[in-house]
Amino acid sequence: MCGIFFSLNRGSPLKPTDQALDALKSRGPDSLQSLELIVPVSESQDFHLTFASSVLALRGGHVQEQPLVDPASGSVLCWNGEAWKIDGQTVQGNDSTQVLQLLVKASNSQSPQIQGAKAIAEALNKIDGPFAFVFWEARTSTIYYGRDRLGRRSLLLHQSTSTPDQLIISSTAFSPITLSSSEVSTTSIRCLSLSSGRIVQATSGWQAPLPQINKDTHPVEPLAALPIRRSVEQTELHLKQAIRLRVNDIPDHSHAHLDSMSAKVAVLFSGGLDCTLLARLAHDVLPPGEPIDLLNVAFENPRSLAARKDHLSSPYESCPDRLTGRSTFQELQEICPGRLWRFVAIDIPYAESLAHQPTIIDLMYPHHTEMDLSIAMALYFAARGQGEAVATSVGSDTQKIPYTSTARVLLSGLGADELFAGYARHAAAFTRGGFEALADELELDFVRIGSRNLGRDDRVMSHWGKEVRYPFLDEDFVRHSLGLPVWEKSGFRTGRPIPKHYDESRRASVAADLEPGKLLLRLVMWDQGMKLTASERKRAIQFGAKTAKMKIGMGRAKGTDLLDPLAPIQ
């Protein structure tokens, strides 16, 4: 994972500010390098290009510094991503040098600029994995930049309205924000040609976008109450493979001096279905001696405190996600007793959340609603990983200790709701218009996940030098999920009660209250022996961690309300 800064300016270099450099260092503490180039136009009006990249080294046997330069062509790459596969083949070791070779080869295959953009898009289309990049193709004096098709990595475009020949492309925003900022679209690869002495912009769409959602909304009757066994088995298989790519062979290039008790992998852990399924399957693919941290965040919320009758109990231990987290932690220990599971209780006092609020607002920009802030705040402190740990394994005593997680890889369950109908609006859509309306709602959610969630979340959590990985958004898993008919993903059925038992092949005799949302994932979890978690109800992070409407007097505020930039911090 890396931080990217690129600037283009006519007449003089536009160097990163101290604040921009600090933001880069936070994202990539292992290396920070810069490079300046001049593109001749005239004696006094040359284009100045400034590249800067920081590195969080998580691939290969050494720290690969950036920006990367191809010595033969002079091309430059700033790469923030993980190429898990290229052209269907798993990438071993460091991926950034292989991506540079891929792009250089593609740029040499075409000469006209628009065709060159197409060649670059076709090359990137071969990559499975999250990424954002800036690539300077020296031979044709062209800048290419973009994000992967899902938008799993942040990339912002900052343009001056008064100076057209000036722009910045970066992983994060920075104050004071003097340029017009926007998230780079995930629908195409963009290019800026400088060969004519002026900036000529063009785009090239993905040549092979991810498949559309299965719109078969007319099942052959009678429709079974539960998804078929093959769907359950294939979903587990694809998800386990996605997790394996993301948790195995993580190198230790940190300065934390990790030992056998240190975790390399942590799970953003509310105790709910999605994150617990990731933890449970990670147990199957990680070496048995490798610890896993479970990061569980809870906030002191003055509005909740004012409404409580019992003011003696802990405001953190009464948070819904803390209650669920501890319960699920116990179930994980029972089902997987050989693993060192470390439950990290991250308690955030109200004063501390206020102190960090300006930083969080800067990081999540250009998102700026009350809901953005409540979600970003929970993710920000969870990713920091600083709290009180309870660590248990076979033959060990349970003890609570102050603890900061050493894990640099965080697993997130984001994507499960969008793919498998986990939100309340999905149930409402089915009630309103059956499978057709449900398919349309799922398609809408999946298409906008990059602009709605992923860029913001990347900026907020990467601030701590952590990389967030999304197994549910693995390309192979997504193709599998999108290809399933909607009635295989969920338990919504017209005129039939919600299924209360998993009784397929008479293998389960214990009742489980399985709600229809994400039923397929619930059955995967049920097969893992974790029946309590399989029946856990969906709860949004801002309500589970108590970050929603933290200020007294916000009872009528809506999540879509814009933040007031002039309102004082209280």
Q: d(Cα 300, Cα 145) in Å, to the nearest integer? A: 41
Q: d(Cα 191, Cα 32) in Å, to the nearest integer? A: 25
* Bridge partners (DSSP) listed for residue 562: 369
Q: Is the pLDDT of residue 566 over 60?
A: no
Q: Is the pLDDT of residue 93 over 80?
A: yes
Mean per-residue pLDDT, 100-116: 79
Q: d(Cα 186, Cα 184) in Å, to the nearest integer? A: 7
Nearest to 155 by CA among 181, 177, 180: 181
What was the pLDDT predicted at 544?
A: 63
CB atoms under 10 Å from CB of 538, counted, come to 18
What was the pLDDT predicted at 418?
A: 96
Q: Is the pLDDT of residue 276 over 60?
A: yes
Residues 396, 534 within the same domain: yes
Range name among 196-200, 307-311, 501-505 with the lowest pLDDT average = 501-505
Mean per-residue pLDDT, 444-471: 95
Element (H, E) at 320: helix 320-335
What was the pLDDT predicted at 301?
A: 85
Taking a C-beta distance cutoff of 8 angstroms, is the pair 532, 328 a contact? Answer: yes
Q: d(Cα 539, Cα 541) in Å, to the nearest integer? A: 6
Residues 176, 242 within the same domain: no
State the maximum Cα–Cα separation within the chain, in Å, rounded to a whole number: 82
pLDDT in tens, 58-80: 998 899 999 999 999 999 999 99
Residue 215 lies in a domain: no
What was the pLDDT predicted at 506?
A: 37
Residue 555 lies in a domain: no
Q: d(Cα 440, Cα 430) in Å, to the nearest integer? A: 10
Q: d(Cα 277, Cα 282) in Å, to the nearest integer? A: 8
Residues 187, 238 within the same domain: no
Range of the domain at 17: 2-205
Residue 40 lies in a domain: yes
Question: For residue 552, what pLDDT band results from cuts at 50, 70 and 90?
Answer: low
Mean per-residue pLDDT, 335-360: 95
Q: Is the pLDDT of residue 323 over 60?
A: yes
Element (H, E) at 294: strand 292-299
What was the pLDDT predicted at 567?
A: 44
Mean per-residue pLDDT, 434-448: 95
Q: Are strands 188-193 and 142-147 parallel, antiparallel or unpaired?
A: antiparallel
Residues 511, 375 within the same domain: yes
How many CA within 13 A on the CB side of residue 364?
Answer: 24
Which is catalytic among the residues 2, 191, 275, 319? 2
DSSP 212: P
Domain count, the chain: 2
Mean per-residue pLDDT, 403-427: 96
Residues 400, 454 within the same domain: yes
Task: Please tell me the pTM assigned to this model.
Answer: 0.92
Q: d(Cα 169, Cα 6) in Å, to the nearest integer? A: 5
Taking a C-beta distance cutoff of 8 angstroms, is the pair 410, 268 a contact? Answer: yes
Range name among 32-46, 91-105, 282-296, 429-443 with the lowest pLDDT average = 32-46
Mean per-residue pLDDT, 82-92: 95
Q: Is the pLDDT of residue 444 over 70?
A: yes
CB atoms under 10 Å from CB of 412, counted, come to 25
Range name among 190-199, 307-316, 495-504 with the lowest pLDDT average = 495-504
DSSP string, 124-140: HTTEES-EEEEEEEGGG
Residue 88 lies in a domain: yes
Q: d(Cα 23, Cα 28) in Å, to the nearest integer? A: 9
Q: d(Cα 363, Cα 358) in Å, to the nearest integer? A: 9
Computed over every residue of the chain, the mean pLDDT equals 87
Residue 27 lies in a domain: yes
Instruction: Give whole-number Cα distances, 37 to 8, 14, 70, 99, 254, in Å.
Output: 10, 11, 14, 21, 31
Quick check: bond before 40 cis, omega within 30? no
C-beta pairs of 33-37 under 8 Å, 24+ apart in sequence: 33/65, 33/66, 33/67, 34/67, 35/67, 35/69, 35/76, 37/76, 37/136
Residues 506, 436 within the same domain: yes
Residues 130, 234 within the same domain: no
Residues 241, 184 within the same domain: no
Taking a C-beta distance cutoff of 8 angstroms, is the pair 337, 306 a contact? Answer: no
Q: d(Cα 47, Cα 196) in Å, to the nearest integer? A: 11
Question: For residue 513, what pLDDT band results from cuts at 50, 70 and 90?
Answer: low
Residues 495, 399 within the same domain: yes
Q: Is the pLDDT of residue 55 over 50?
A: yes
Q: Is the pLDDT of residue 345 over 60?
A: yes
Share above pLDDT 70 across residues of the chain, in percent, rounded to a whole number = 86
Range name among 339-343, 388-392, 479-483 with the lowest pLDDT average = 388-392
The residue type found at 561 is D
Q: d(Cα 423, Cα 289) in Å, to the nearest integer? A: 36
Q: Is the pLDDT of residue 349 over 80?
A: yes
pLDDT in tens, 468-493: 999 999 999 999 999 999 999 998 98
Residues 163, 305 within the same domain: no
Angle, CA 494 vertex, CA 488 and CA 496 arms, to 5°: 95
Residue 563 lies in a domain: no
Residue 500 lies in a domain: yes
- Cα torsion 125, 103, 32, 260 to 10°: value is 60
Phi-psi category of residue 23: left, alpha or beta, with phi > 0 → left and psi -120 to 50 → alpha: alpha
Structure tokens at 515: 């709600």
Mean per-residue pLDDT, 521-535: 92
Residue 552 lies in a domain: no
CA 502 to chain centre: 31
Residues 475, 509 within the same domain: yes
Residues 82, 168 within the same domain: yes
What was the pLDDT predicted at 77?
A: 98
Q: Which residue has better confidence, 392 or 371?
A: 371
Q: Give me the phi and psi of 498, to 5 degrees please.
A: -65, 130
Q: d(Cα 215, Cα 220) in Å, to the nearest integer? A: 14
2 belongs to the catalytic site:
yes
Q: Is the pLDDT of residue 398 over 70?
A: no
What was the pLDDT predicted at 515?
A: 84
Taking a C-beta distance cutoff of 8 angstroms, is the pair 83, 99 a contact? Answer: yes
Q: Give me the phi and psi of 122, to 5 degrees please.
A: -65, -35
What was the pLDDT predicted at 558?
A: 66
